[in-house]
């Protein structure tokens, strides 16, 4: 039997914080074991790997897509995905709306913001995000729900940098909430914090932490 650290991680979560168990690079068996221990929300970052796991595993798992998503892949996950955390363009949002409608579903999405200094990190700048939301097209989309924001902090040991980035994320969430979603109770998700920084993220209002290696260990597949 594979030993995971699910319960150790759970014990460190603030009350009300939702754990997205990131199972990428870990086999179906590892996911099944966490499922048997009561975990229902899992995060995956590659469409093909997700497809295999979705087919093999219990259907009440809530899958969150957390990787970069190409518009031409949306159709494969639209029939079953619970949340797409990495929406970084209007084009992608439109395609999710289109595919969700085809499947007669409503898909929850997060806007991925680029806050870290690192060029390699993905996501939209806050300015592009504001411009997109000012456009207002999203208001007519009946098959997506914009639930909040997602971001990744810099990959660094400098705790001050990380704290600064989470503080910024918290501020941007508040700005978007006030500007566009004041009366929308469902705009309530702040997805930040990974294995190395989720304890800090929780101090900055994170509602969803995405924890992989701390639970499942290092990459297996």
**What does the binding site for ligand PLP look like in residue numbers (CB under 6 A)?**
22, 24, 45, 66-67, 152, 194-196, 210-214
Minimum separation from the CB atom of position 119 to ligand PLP (A): 16
Minimum separation from the CB atom of position 215 to ligand PLP (A): 8
Minimum separation from the CB atom of position 140 to ligand PLP (A): 29
For ligand PLP, the closer CB: 45 or 207? 45
For ligand PLP, the closer CB: 14 or 213? 213
What is the per-residue burial (b if ≥16 Cβ within 10 Å, else e) of 56-94? ebeeebbbbbbbebeeebbeebbebbbbbbbbbebebbb
For ligand PLP, the closer CB: 24 or 114? 24
Alpha-carbon distance 67 to 65, whole Å? 6
Closest C-alpha to 50, from 19, 7, 18, 83 = 83
Minimum separation from the CB atom of position 148 to ligand PLP (A): 15
Alpha-carbon distance 83 to 73, whole Å? 15
For ligand PLP, the closer CB: 84 or 107? 84
Tell me which residue has its CB nearest to ligand PLP. Answer: 212
Residue 8: C-alpha distances to residues 19, 39, 100, 137 (Å): 12, 13, 36, 43
């Amino acid at each position: 039997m594979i030993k995971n650290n699910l319960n150790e991680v759970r014990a460190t979560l603030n009350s009300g914080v939702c754990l997205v168990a990131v199972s990428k690079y870990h086999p179906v068996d590892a996911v099944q074991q966490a499922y048997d221990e009561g975990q229902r929300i899992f995060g995956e970052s590659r469409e093909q790997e997700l497809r295999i796991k979705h087919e093999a595993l219990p259907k009440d798992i809530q899958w969150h897509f957390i990787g970069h998503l190409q518009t031409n892949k949306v159709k494969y996950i639209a029939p079953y995905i619970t949340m797409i955390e990495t929406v970084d363009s209007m084009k992608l949002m439109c395609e999710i709306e289109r595919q969700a409608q085809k499947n007669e579903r409503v898909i929850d999405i997060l806007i991925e913001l680029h806050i870290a200094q690192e060029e390699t990190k993905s996501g939209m700048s806050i300015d592009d995000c504001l411009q997109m939301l000012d456009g207002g097209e999203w208001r007519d989309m009946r098959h997506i729900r914009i639930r909040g924001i997602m971001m990744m902090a810099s990959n660094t040991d400098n705790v001050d940098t990380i704290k600064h980035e989470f503080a910024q994320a918290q501020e941007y969430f508040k700005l978007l909430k006030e500007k566009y979603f004041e009366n929308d109770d469902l705009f309530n998700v702040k997805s930040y914090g990974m294995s190395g920084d989720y304890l800090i993220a929780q101090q900055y209002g994170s509602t969803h932490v995405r924890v992989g290696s701390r639970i499942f260990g290092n990459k297996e597949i």
